[in-house]
Amino acid sequence: MGGYGSGQRDGRPLANEALTIDIAWMIRQGMAVPGQSVIGSLSWTCRGESSGRIGYECDMRDPEDAVLILRFDTIRRWTGEKKSHVQTVPLTYTRPHFGGKRWWMLCPFTAERVGKLYCPAGAEKFASRKAYGIAYYSQRIADHEKPFEALFELQKRLGCEPGWERPIRRPKGMWRKTFAEYERRYWELDARCGAAMAAQMDRLGGINF
């Protein structure tokens, strides 16, 4: 699990540079199934390279005693020492107004219900963002970069290649009304990117588009 990013900036780890477990995503992917016990593995990549892999067992046969068992190794950065870990994460659920169950994990440090657990570089447990003081990347980027980050995120959400002035397309199966809202947001962000770029160029030397 070592070597998956710098892990910290300004003394605080970043969410996008930590291994992340999302219980709702696991359920959607069939990697965790209410009423069943599932054994499998989770893997991550960073900048196109493998950044971590762990084994897990998600036992949800008894909703009142459901657990996610994680098995992984960590390697100490300076000594190269390998250490094996087994972490048991209790699962719990709430009942939304629209019915069914919404599943959560309990942080081992704060005991709070969370949808995601993180393991930043150098850590030996998966825990909540609050426990590790993890910041989001958007909290660290300059104001003039934020419209670009939002635009790229929208493009990735639609399965399009990210990049300013790159077009978007409606994914197969998406309602036209839903895509129209994404498209409205796209052009709004595109205009903000243009304004940010123009302001940045003015600061750098008064160059006009």
| Residue 196 pLDDT | 75
**Are residues 116 and 20 part of one domain?**
yes
| Residue 23 pLDDT | 94
Which residues on neighbouring strands pair with residue 131, listed in sequence order? Answer: none
The answer, yes or no, to whether residue 63 has pLDDT greater than 60, is yes
Q: Which of 59-63, 92-96, 138-142 has the lowest mean pLDDT?
A: 138-142
Q: What residue numbers bound the domain in which 126 lies?
A: 8-132
Domain-terminating residue out of 80, 103, 132: 132
| Residue 7 pLDDT | 37
User: pTM for this structure?
Assistant: 0.58
Helix (H, G, I), strand (E, B) or coil at 46: strand
| Residue 162 pLDDT | 78
Residue 199 in any domain: the answer is: yes
The answer, yes or no, to whether residue 140 has pLDDT greater than 80, is no
Structure confidence at residue 8 as a pLDDT band (50, 70, 90)? very low
Contact 31, 43 (CB under 8 A): no
Residue 31 in any domain: the answer is: yes
Helix ranges (H only) for 5-138 are: 23-28, 129-132
Residue 125 in any domain: the answer is: yes
The answer, yes or no, to whether residue 151 has pLDDT greater than 50, is yes
Structure confidence at residue 133 as a pLDDT band (50, 70, 90)? confident
| Section 60-86 average pLDDT | 88
Count Cβ atoms within 10 A of the Cβ of residue 12 and give its class: 0-12 exposed, 13-18 middle, 19 or more buried: middle
